[in-house]
């Protein structure tokens, strides 16, 4: 069974719209988890964190702006932060 051209176009357009809507609703943050130690021991308390993205591991340029998380809670040395995507993440390195 073959579809006529107008039916095929309507069906293809409908499918593109159905699958395109979820793509627009995607979150624009990345989740970063880290570990913080003080004197070799897991740190518990709050810390002022600053995150920066770079386009190279060494000697690269900063991508986007730095984002601060003042008084961020850290428990047993572990923390988790959502960071806004301000630029393309083709190859990026994060500095904390």
Q: Where are the domains of the chain?
A: 28-95
Q: What are the angstrom distances between the C-alpha of 35 and each of 32, 38, 48, 49, 87? A: 10, 10, 14, 12, 25
Regarding beta strands 45-54 and 37-38, do their DSSP bridges make them parallel or antiparallel, or are they unpaired? Answer: unpaired
Please give the model's pTM, rounded to 2 decimal places: 0.59
Instruction: Give 29-45 pLDDT, tens digit per residue.
Output: 777 888 989 999 999 99
Q: Among residues 56, 59, 58, 51, which one has the least CA distance to residue 85?
A: 51
Instruction: Give 53-62 pLDDT, tens digit per residue.
Output: 888 888 888 8
């Amino acid at each position: 069974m073959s579809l006529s051209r107008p039916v095929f176009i309507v069906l293809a357009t409908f499918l593109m719209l159905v699958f395109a809507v979820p793509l627009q609703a995607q979150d624009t943050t990345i989740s970063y988890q880290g570990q913080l130690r003080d004197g070799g021991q897991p740190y518990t308390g709050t810390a002022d964190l600053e995150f920066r993205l770079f386009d190279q591991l060494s000697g690269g340029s900063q991508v986007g702006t730095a984002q601060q998380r003042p008084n961020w809670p850290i428990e047993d040395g572990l923390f988790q932060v959502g960071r806004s995507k301000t630029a393309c993440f083709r190859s990026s390195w994060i500095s904390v």
